Amino acid sequence: MEFLFALLVGALFTVSVYLFLSRHLIRILMGAAILGNAVNLLIFTTGRVTREVPPIIAPDLPTLEVAAANPLPQALILTAIVISFSFFAFLLVLGYRAFEELKTDDTEEMRVAEPVDDPAPPLGY
C-alpha cells in the first residue's frame, strides 16, 4: 500500500514541478495547489498506512490491542492543509493583482522591480 502511495506522491510532485517550470503565473498557481496536496499525501504515507482502526483504548485494557491508525500524521496534515490553503488563497489574489497591475501573467515580462534597462552606477564623480 505504501508503495502505491509513494508512486502517487511521486506523480503529483512531477506534475507540480512541471507546472512550476512554466513561465505563466496561472500554471505556477496550479502547480502550487498540487504541491500542497502532494506534501500532505507524503506526510500521510511516511506516518505508515495502517488499518482504519481508531486509536482508542478500551476501558478494561491498559494499552491498545490491535494496530490502530496513527493520529499524529493526520494532525500534521490538518495543520499543513490550513497553512497551504491560506497560502494558496493569498497567492491567487496576488497572481490576479499581478495580472491587473502588470498586464501580463508571463513571469519573463515581470521586470518592474528589476528593470531590464537599469543603468549601471556611475564609475566616478
Partner 1 sequence: MASPSPTPVDLSAAMVMAPSSPSDWLVVLPVAWCLLAGAILLMIRRRTELQAGLAIAALSLLALMDLALLSRVVADGPVTMTMGRWLPPFGISFTVDVLGAVFAFTSALVAVAAAVFARGDVDANGRRYGFYPFLMLLMGGVSGAFLTGDVFNLYVWFEVLLISSFGLLVLGSTREQIDGATKYAFLNLVATTLFLITTAYLYGLFGTLNMADIAVKAPALRGTAPLMTLTTLYLLAFGMKAAAFPVNFWLPASYHTPKLVVSALFGGLLTKVGVYALLRTQIMLFPLERGELATLIAIVAALTMLLGVLGALAQNDQRRAVGFLVVSGIGVMMAGLALGNPGGLSGAVLYGVHSMVVMAGLYFAVGLGARVSGTFLLSDGGGIHAARAGLSFVTLALLLSVAGLPPFSGLWPKVMLVRAALEAGAGWLAAAILVTGLLTLVAAGRVFALAHWRPAQIEAPRAAARAGDRGALASLVVLTALSVVFGLWPEPVIALAQKAAAGLLDPSAYILSVFPGEVPQ
Can you list the pairs that 17-23 forms with residues at least 24 positions away whose Cβ atoms lie under 8 Å? 23/106, 23/107, 23/108
Q: Which CB sits closer to partner 1, 52 or 61?
A: 61
Report, in Å, the least distance between residue 52 CB and partner 1.
20
Asked if residues 34 and 22 have their Cβ atoms less than 8 Å apart, the reply is no
Q: Which residues form the interface with partner 1 (CB under 8 A)?
A: 20, 25, 28, 32, 35-36, 39, 42-43, 45-48, 59-62, 72-73, 76, 79-80, 83, 86-87, 90-91, 94-95, 97-98, 101-102, 107, 110-114, 118-122, 125
Report, in Å, the least distance between residue 54 CB and partner 1.
15
Q: Which CB sits closer to partner 1, 53 or 90?
A: 90
Asked if residues 31 and 22 have their Cβ atoms less than 8 Å apart, the reply is yes
Report, in Å, the least distance between residue 46 CB and partner 1.
3
Residue 54 in grid coordinates: 481508531
Tally of CB atoms within 10 A around 42: 20
